[in-house]
Structure 1
Amino acid sequence: MDDIEAFWQRAQRHAELATVNSYMGESPMALLRPPAWAFGATPEQADELLALVIDGTKTSTSSALWDYEAEGEDLPTEGTLGIVTDGRGAPRALVVTSRVRTVPFDQVDEEHARAEGEGDRSLDHWRQVHEAFFTEHASHDRGFAPDMPVVLEDLRVIYSEPADAPR
């Protein structure tokens, strides 16, 4: 069993995802392992942003809609589970998406910037950091645009483990 599958098994038990209170059989939550992914584009960003999620500072994230389209990925939806890995690819947190909305970059609000939990948590800081990120790490060929669609996702940690937790 790989590290992510082992983490998924522990997270399911902790969060009681596999239990149902009826005769209907095993919960669908127990059947499919959610995708594993990391924040940012570098191991350092992954570790920094994951730490903010685990400590409760970062409760939202944002992505370029154009990246989802370029990669052929489905957008997250409310209730989507994800296993968040650190910069080494080790699973550390199980999160659930609690809200998703798509807005133009220049219409992201102060509330979302604060919820991302980065830097001074201001909208100006959010715009500066995310414009640079979307310009440098885009997986699409459209470049950055002030009105580019951005997917805003609110997250809630269901289960997490410290980096040095026994496996």
Structure 2
Amino acid sequence: MTDSIEHDPVDEAGEDERVRRFWTVASERAKLATMPGYFGPSPLASVPPPTWSFGEDPAESDRLLGVLLAGERDATAVPAAEYGEAPPVVGTLGIVLDGSGRPRALVSTRSVEVMAPHQVDVAGLIDAEAFPGAVGPDGQVVVERLKVLYEE
């Protein structure tokens, strides 16, 4: 999983607006805003979660997003060292972008495990082919399982 893909040129305000529009629809459809309207928006409802994309290039991003959206696999494996002291926590939200930078899925972290590489169920990894490179210098990987809450 990476956020380093260069997307088609879209001015930052235009991209932010796409994310805001997606978040408005996704948070409603995923039933995240559970309080009646007279309470006003909560911070959860008003601030979109971080955006990110899979892969190293737009084609790979689209392919891996397709694997997640098809329900074939739902886990990522990242060297523990990449998270520093703060691996993801259950319930963390994210907006997954496609290869062109368009918001496509609202996901939630449903489980997080830190383990040795030999313990990883490679068959459940969204990008199983990249797994051998996912081992960090400490020998531990963070396996994060995702749940798709909404997709376009």
| Structure 2: segments with no counterpart, 5+ residues | 1-15
Shift of 1:6: 1.1
- When residues 74 and 41 of structure 1 are mapped into structure 2, their CA distance, relative to the original with a 3 A threshold, is farther
Question: What is the CA–CA distance in structure 1 between the aligned matches of 2:112 and 2:31, rounded to whole Å?
Answer: 24
- When residues 43 and 74 of structure 1 are mapped into structure 2, their CA distance, relative to the original with a 3 A threshold, is farther
Question: What is the CA–CA distance in structure 2 between the aligned matches of 1:89 and 1:160, rounded to whole Å?
Answer: 14
Which of 109, 116, 124 lines up with 2:125 in the alignment? 116
Contact 2:77-2:134 at 8 Å conserved across structures:
no
| Structure 1 residues 49-70: Cα deviation after superposition (integer angstroms, max 9, x where no partner) | 100111111211111112223x
Question: What is the CA–CA distance in structure 1 between the aligned matches of 2:126 and 2:51, rounded to whole Å?
Answer: 22
Question: What is the CA–CA distance in structure 1 between the aligned matches of 2:46 and 2:126, rounded to whole Å?
Answer: 33
* 2:23 aligned with 1:8: yes
| Structure 1 residues 94-151: Cα deviation after superposition (integer angstroms, max 9, x where no partner) | 001100011122332xxx3222255xxxxxxx4x6312x448xxxxxxxx55x62111
Normalising by structure 2, report the TM-score.
Answer: 0.77
SS in 1 for 2:55: coil
% identity of equivalent residues: 38
Count the aligned residue pairs.
137
Normalising by structure 1, report the TM-score.
Answer: 0.71
Which residue pairs with 1:80 in the alignment? Answer: 92
Which residue pairs with 1:159 in the alignment? Answer: 150
Which residue pairs with 1:40 in the alignment? Answer: 55
Contact 2:78-2:143 at 8 Å conserved across structures:
yes
Over the aligned positions, Cα root-mean-square deviation in angstroms equals: 2.5
| Structure 1: segments with no counterpart, 5+ residues | 119-125, 136-143, 162-167
Which residue pairs with 2:4 in the alignment? Answer: none
* 2:69 aligned with 1:57: no
Contact 1:57-1:116 at 8 Å conserved across structures:
no
